[in-house]
Amino acid sequence: MRKGVLPVALGTVVTATGVILDTKQSKRHKFRKNDYKNMAGALLVGAGVAHILLGGIDISRD
């Protein structure tokens, strides 16, 4: 298996999970201070994108 494929796959799954959690947020519902589900979704999207980018760098360096 090529180096970097696993982080990209993991990042894709984590990003998709974060997007699913963030879809609950809409323009009608303002962000509340204790809205931990939305904060977790944003964190997962960020971490997933970071995994995808770092895995892509590893793939391109091979």
Predicted confidence at residue 31, as pLDDT, reads 63
Tens-digit pLDDT profile for residues 30-61: 666 677 777 888 899 999 999 999 999 999 98
Q: What is the pTM of this model?
A: 0.78
**Biggest CA-to-CA distance, the chain:** 47
Task: Give the integer Cα–Cα distance in Å for 14 and 20.
Answer: 10
Task: Give the integer Cα–Cα distance in Å for 55 and 40.
Answer: 22
